Amino acid sequence: EGRPAAELEPQLKKAEANMALMQEKAGGDTKIIIEYLMGTVVDEYGVGVQDGKVTDPGEFQDAFGFSVVAMKMAKRLDDPKAADLNRELKALVAMWPAGGPLADSTPKPVAEVAAQTSKVLLALSALP
């Protein structure tokens, strides 16, 4: 069942901390992690949304969470060209309702979310 964004925020913060720790320990490249997250967003969203309806609220919410984590990671990139990436990630996160990824949301079509992740990946590819 869907939960308000305020309830998800602590989980997102924990996921971000875990991601940062993994990145630090593994010497993870932020760009590679964001690229991986975009593929995961498309996969999770495709499971969570079918025929214009939220069919798996958990996957729908996971896709949102991965998008938010990617956006926050991108803000840490020290490159002037990262502005385009940040703009595209912000647009991706904005594809979910302002109140958060609730089960009774009217979701964007899967193809639109996939197209936006492609824009994110294009902006990501412009970075050194």
Number of structural domains, the chain?
1
Neighbours of 64 (CB within 10 A): 25
Name the pTM for this structure: 0.81
Tens of pLDDT, residue by residue over 11-62, are 767 766 766 666 666 567 889 889 999 999 999 999 999 999 999 999 999 9
Domain span at 68: 5-125
pLDDT of residue 23: 64
DSSP of 58-90, one letter per residue? Answer: HHHHHHHHHHHHHHHHHTT---TTHHHHHHHHH
Which residue is it, tokens 């969203």?
A: 45
